[in-house]
Amino acid sequence: MANVAVIGAQWGDEGKGKVVDWLASRADIVVRFQGGHNAGHTLVVGNQTYKLSLLPSGVVRGKLGVIGNGVVLDPDALLGEISRVRGQGLDVGPHNLRIAENVPLILPLHPAIDKAREEARGAAKIGTTGRGIGPAYEDKVARRAIRLCDLAEPETLSAKLDELLLHHNTLLKGLGAETFEKQDLLDRLLALAPKLLPYAEAVWERLDEARHKNSRVLFEGAQAVMLDVDHGTYPFVTSSNTVAGNAAAGSGIGPHGVGTVLGIAKAYTTRVGSGPFPTELHDEIGKRLGERGREFGTVTGRPRRCGWFDACLVRQAVKVGGVQGLALTKLDVLDGLEELKICTGYRIDGEVVKRLPAAAAAQAKAEPIYETLEGWSQSTMGARSWAELPATAIKYVKRIEELVEAPVTLLSTSPERDDTILVSDPFAG
């Protein structure tokens, strides 16, 4: 079975949607294995643009979509997204979308406490989306989460709500925020049960059957390695493990089933929200990258911070993320720049280092060490072969390969799905 896992190799928003869509057309099953509706993929198919947050991208291609147990699921967000894409002509239902019966649910109290805590932090806020992702993962780890399967057992649901509200109402009251009533939440969840339970199943069994049938499975990551709760720029990270190793735990397969790991990276660097960003540009070039790259969050609409390609950071993501090949996106955004810079290391308190340290103060002090390369004046937009690229653009890509210690196996030159240069097939194993 030749499976592929796709993860971000920077801070997210690398253009995973297009790459996943391209790969999904050749897969049988597409699996979301972590995160929630705090991340999104934009897919451009013909004259339609689909903005997905929870739905696996494969549904756009008529493939079976699976939401794994590693996701935290907001029922209202999911049902709203299903309704929206149905309005765009997509057929989505229990026949082509399956959800792990043990997936934790995001309840209305989770975004409430998320926002209250961010407000209390003031200038020290983390920059969460306020959608309750972190608090939902906290409940999962603390063993008090409401899971999808609980909706089929009203008595279990009632008992678990008691414990959940004991914790969250205490916090909300302490933060000066409005508390929640048990009966309101119970009634809401019982009303959702008939809408959600038809999607529920033991998805690990389905994936095991897929393994025996030699079906192709695509594991679709959200966010990126440098937002991983363990390996990212902590505490300015997401609340889940975004590395490919979590595709197994977050969907219910063994580690052998993850397959080839493809990391997605932009030809430059962006970040949304707070946190260190050594190569960030506050000048006209940074503004130009943002405008040409249309750098606004799919889910939040927030403008992204922009900067030069950080090879030191991506090399780190390649190592801890298990990346075997890179898909480099948005090369065309660099068209017309006379010179380009690549970060090859950092200077911290006078010392040169080749990795971003784990300590927050050291990360904040990291000054980029740049290597300068010649730019190109020709357009790379829509190129579908190496022969269509300027020699200096090829040199830029090859230098990235050397610095990050991973081959570029796929090069994207526009948002269009077919504007892609394939070097090697990830599904070939």
Cα gap 361→323, rounded to integer Å: 28
- Single-letter code of the amino acid located at 111: P
- Single-letter code of the amino acid located at 386: W
- Single-letter code of the amino acid located at 334: L
Specify the pLDDT at position 1. 52
Specify whether the backbone of 322 is left (phi greater than 0), alpha (psi in -120 to 50) or beta.
Answer: left
Which of 71-75, 125-129, 254-258, 278-282 shows the lowest per-residue confidence on average (mean pLDDT)? 125-129
pLDDT digits (tens, 9 = 90+) for 207-247: 999 999 999 999 999 999 999 999 999 999 999 999 999 99
* Residues annotated catalytic, as ranges: 13, 41
Whole-prediction pTM value? 0.93
The DSSP symbol for 103 reads P
- Three-class SS of 375-405: CCCCCCCCCCCHHHCCHHHHHHHHHHHHHHC
Asked whether the beta carbons of 329 and 387 are under 8 A apart, the reply is no
CA end-to-end distance (rounded Å), the chain: 9
Specify the pLDDT at position 343. 98
Cα gap 218→200, rounded to integer Å: 20
Give me the mean pLDDT over the 400-421 stretch: 89
pLDDT digits (tens, 9 = 90+) for 309-321: 999 999 999 999 9
| Average pLDDT value for the chain | 93
The DSSP symbol for 3 reads -
pLDDT digits (tens, 9 = 90+) for 250-278: 999 999 999 999 999 999 999 988 899 99
Cα gap 283→287, rounded to integer Å: 6
Q: What is the distance of C-alpha 347 from the center of its chain?
A: 29
